[in-house]
Amino acid sequence: MNNLRGSGLLLHITSLPGDYGVGDFGKNAFRFVDFLNETGTRFWQVLPLNPTDNALGNSPYSSSSAFALNPLLIDPEQLLESGLVEQSDLISISTAKGKVNYLQAYEFKKKILHEAYLNFKSAGNRVEFQLFCNRHKHWLEDYAMFTAFKDYFSGKVWTSWPEDIRNRKSGALQELREELYDQVEKAMFAQFLLAKQWFALRDHCNEAGIQLIGDIPIYVQHDSADVWANPRFFKLDKKGDPTFVAGVPPDYFSETGQLWGNPVYDWNALKKDRYDFWVKRLRHNFALYDIVRIDHFRGLVGYWEIPAGEETAINGKWVEAPVWDFYNEITKRFSFLPVIAEDLGEITPDVREFIMKTGFPGMRILQFGMMSKDPSDPFMPHNYLNNCVAYTGTHDNNTLKGWYQNEIEDHQRDWLNKYVGKNIHEDNVSFELIRMLLQSAAGMAVIQMQDLLDLDESDRMNKPGSTGYWEFAFNWEDLSQERRDFLKELNVLYQR
């Protein structure tokens, strides 16, 4: 990876234009790939594709499964083409400009997948479906049962289910699974359809010379198939509730730290099992993407552990993980590790040493460098290494325009003017900083789609610790020929 030089765009699937309330794996995703190809852009970075929940704010980092794909992303038109649904089943969903309509999209996608399953049951070829189920047996059955059981128990957290089901007693599990046979199989069938659509899109990317960068959240949600099926790998009490939860200490985004609430791993248990859960997770994601970014990578070296019940992340502590033993095991299982290390936040010398010795490219955030006013800051563009991935901002950052308008002070704007060598203002800040990013020595330079479109804070993807985000969606009319030409020109000029 350290020999690559190219540019990329960070845009989640849900943020694509769509006729059904949300971006999906359909025609607009293929059109976006063609746009990348036309502008000489080599990478498309997406956020986690796992199932989301409106009750959890639709965050792709809060999911019921670390393996499953999000049913929200199914393309109804491909179901129509394959004869699984009728034209009358498709209804257009209006959306506010620049916003995903999650509520209606969830309802519609659930209904269309139900219709597809009923038609498949009556006349479908089961051979290909059964092969898929066999190939993904290590996670698919548990995920499908978890999904069906959760509906059956009125959405309750799995720790509130009847004891025999909560503790996965084989007799009780099989009895309920048989009672809910259709619901379980429907969840598996949805994953089969989603996988077919995703890999068709990935093939289109690769044929166009575009590499897909995916994202693995380091932690999994407590109320998930992963924790229910593998409680021994997490620090839980006898009832299955977390004894310690994950987060980070006070940082740029929060004075009280970030209390994520995910259960932390029991690394001793993972070690005894030779990290099989992580091996399977990595193998699954290496199949989905060309390159995988591991979110909060430093948690593999040492993690911030907070006693369950705390209201903030302040009273946590750093705990070491057996990172070298883990890494040695992983390298035995994979001949190549196409990994980006998200090395942001409080990075200690042991984390830097690990990343340096493994050779994984780390990350640099342009906004952080421009705020520091320190020429030696590693986030300043002139200090970027070739073996790094530089971003205008991540999904947690403001847009460049929003950052300039609302997050920096006058003395930092003066510094920015000096550094760029011209007068920067809100009408040119996005374009000048994108130019600076692509000029840099960073092997990979990734631009938030909002920054290419010169959008302000109202189109921010997420703000940690806040609600009402993950709703950004762009419209094709926003992507003017001028912006297309701008991106293409910079890719050629700076050999991206």
> Which residues participate in catalysis according to the annotation?
295, 342, 396
Question: How many Å apart are CA 86 and CA 109, to the nearest integer?
Answer: 14
Both ends of the chain: CA-CA distance in Å? Answer: 14
Question: How many Å apart are CA 233 and CA 119, to the nearest integer?
Answer: 39
3-state secondary structure of 376: coil
Output DSSP code: residue 70: P
Cα–Cα nearest to 52, from 63, 66, 37, 40: 63
Label residues 441-466 b or e (16+ Cβ within 10 Å = b): ebbbbbbbbbbbbbbbbebbbbeeee
Tokens (6 digits) for 34: 């063609």
Question: How many Å apart are CA 308 and CA 285, to the nearest integer?
Answer: 30
Asked if 57 contacts 71 with a C-beta cutoff of 8 angstroms, the reply is no
Transcribe 422-490 into DSSP letters. S---TTTHHHHHHHHHHHSS-SEEEEEHHHHTT--GGG-S--TT-SS-S-B---GGGS-HHHHHHHHHH
Output DSSP code: residue 20: B
